[in-house]
Amino acid sequence: MKLSIRNLITALFVSLLYLTACKKKEVPELPEKPEPSIHFITDSLIIENIPFIGRRLDLIFENIPEATSDNVEWRIENPLIAEITPTGLLWPKAAGTTYVFAKLAAGKAEARCKIIVTDENDFKFRLVLTDKGESEFSVGRPEAFLSAKAIERRRKRGISIEESDLPISKQYLKAIAGIGGTIVTQSKWLNTVTVNVQDQFLIDKYKALPFVKEVKLVYVGKRKKNSNEARYVDVSQAGSLGNLGTVIDYGSAALNINMVAGEALHQKGFKGAGIDIAVIDAGFVNLKNNPAFSNIHIKAAKSFVFENDDPYSIDSHGIWVTSCMAVNKPGTYVGTAPEASYWLLRTEDSATEYPIEEDYWTSAIEFADSAGVDLVNSSLSYSDFQSYYNTKGYVAADMDGQTAFATRAANMAFKKGIFIVNCAGNEQKWVGTPADSPGVLAVGSVNSKGNQDFFTSWGMTADGRIKPDVMALGGGASVINTYGSPEMRSGTSYASPIICGLVACLWQAYPALTNRDLMEIIRKSGNRASNPTLPYGYGIPDMKTAIELAKAKVGSK
């Protein structure tokens, strides 16, 4: 027994010595080697979309072994919003949110940075629809969407009310507005809706609508700042013309009228009474306070420009143009249609030059049609200068009388019985839209001696018609300025209203004539009608001759 205990104690002692020896020989553990990593200096970055200004993205490298490359592979989630170069230089392209990724070329380390691109731009898109949808209106009840005067004009001219007169479906408009933009214009004739958006990538959502055939960018510009400006409220002006009589002292406007024998109509008592003329122009700054316009009849004034709804707030061009027809101040200035009624419609955005202005122009002439306007004077022209920010300008081949957007609208207006007079333009080349329309009387400019002005545009249309159709005084024409005084200005913009006012007087004299009759008569009254030639077209009209031609036309019916 004593031996067993001694043996047991010895065994335990040996075991302890063995365990102690093993522990002393154990290899100590080394700390784990940290993995290489990279980080952006910031997790997110806000950058303004300013052209040609980039931003370098900086990285923090950690635990990169010696002799190991720190080259980085860059990629961006949405290259439509921004572009990242192989050296980490970020170039903003469009407003929106995306992510930039940086990956270590010699490893798995990767970092991510949120990129927010901001800008102050608005974008306008023209949505071309497949159709107008199911209308809430009926051609059998036109009074729901046309004025009594518009219906009467159609009846008097033998023009039927058609599907093209019906407004676009409210369901379509609701679906478009629901995507997030603001509806700016719509065309029932051309089946289009124009929207204003801050997020240009809404274009994909518009394209996804089943009734949208095409989406076209027509405007990019600085966003209108929020303001407390009150919305414009229109007030008509009744006018108090008095009795001009048949012998009129035209004042400084005498040559405007005498060159085309306009006094022949006035002397017979025809000064435009009962005729509604729409003036589509760039603006009518402070016209209501201009003493020269104090007694004219203004039925309404409206701006179609999204950024500014006040037709009287900006641009004097419409003052000069309207004065050629409307002013009635004997001894100082008398226009070509001093007793007509006027609708002043602003469509030109003078601050920019984008195709959206054709959408505004189209909305204006559709509005004029719905209001029952008889004539339209448009001293605006659109050609190849509209080529900004991926918007496409026109070329001469587009001027075929049926391609350009405004031209197609003018063709429809002519079909509805409206007579349209448009300046030929001052570009010294082919005539732009809408003057290329076969339903538009395009007017070029001559000087006081009857010679073509150097600036006037002219040429054959792509389908072989002469433009301009006729000429009138535009070089040194007399107009009324913003202070109410006469002054001399030059441009086809003034030749156009001189003729437009006299067409109104001729229509007053012979109301049985159609707009097609008037087009033929004005051309045939030109001093080159027997041999129309460029750049004069049918030449300078003569209202004495026009009266005789009108008598013959009415008598033959």
**Whole-number pLDDT of residue 22:** 46
Q: Is pLDDT at 246 greater than 80 in this prediction? A: no
**Among candidate residues 360, 358, 345, the one with its CA nearest the CA of residue 310:** 345
Q: Is residue 505 part of a domain?
A: yes
Least confident of 214-228, 449-463, 511-525: 214-228
Question: What's 91's domain CATH number?
Answer: 2.60.40.1080
**Whole-number pLDDT of residue 472:** 98
Q: How many domains does the chain have?
A: 3
Read off the pLDDT band of 27 (50, 70, 90): low
Mean residue pLDDT of the chain comes to 91
Mean pLDDT of 485-505: 98
Q: What percent of the chain has pLDDT over 90?
A: 76
Which of 70-79, 213-222, 381-390, 514-523 is predicted most confidently? 514-523
Mean pLDDT of 303-316: 95
Domain extent at residue 103: 37-118
| pLDDT tens-place string over residues 127-137 | 999 999 998 89
Using the 3D structure, point to which of 180, 207, 222 is the last residue of a domain: 222
**Whole-number pLDDT of residue 555:** 83
Q: Is residue 311 part of a domain?
A: yes
Q: Residue 537, SS3?
A: strand
**Whole-number pLDDT of residue 243:** 76
* Residue 193 near residue 213, CB atoms below 8 Å: no
The separation between the first and the last C-alpha atoms of the chain, rounded to the nearest angstrom, is 153
Whether 197 and 262 map to the same domain: the answer is: no
Regarding predicted confidence, which is higher, 64 or 304?
304
**pTM of the full structure:** 0.85
Burial profile 176-206: b = 16 or more Cβ within 10 angstroms, e = fewer: beebebebbbbbbbbbbbbbbbeebebbebb
Q: DSSP label at 224?
A: P
Regarding predicted confidence, which is higher, 516 or 63?
516
Q: Is residue 384 part of a domain?
A: yes
Q: What percent of the chain has pLDDT over 70?
A: 92
| pLDDT tens-place string over residues 5-24 | 555 555 555 555 555 444 44
Q: Is residue 243 part of a domain?
A: no
Which of 67-81, 233-247, 532-546 is predicted most confidently? 532-546
Q: Is pLDDT at 480 greater than 50 in this prediction? A: yes
Whether 484 and 399 map to the same domain: the answer is: yes
Whether 197 and 259 map to the same domain: the answer is: no
| pLDDT tens-place string over residues 402-438 | 999 999 999 999 999 999 999 999 999 999 999 999 9
Whether 290 and 307 map to the same domain: the answer is: yes
Q: What does residue 316 show for φ and ψ, rounded to 5 degrees?
A: -95, -5
Structure token pair of residue 498: 């001189």
| pLDDT tens-place string over residues 50-96 | 877 889 999 999 888 876 777 899 999 999 899 999 999 999 988 88
Read off the pLDDT band of 173 (50, 70, 90): very high
Whether 67 and 183 map to the same domain: the answer is: no
Read off the pLDDT band of 383 (50, 70, 90): confident
Q: What does residue 81 show for φ and ψ, rounded to 5 degrees?
A: -90, -40
Whether 423 and 443 map to the same domain: the answer is: yes
Q: DSSP label at 531?
A: S
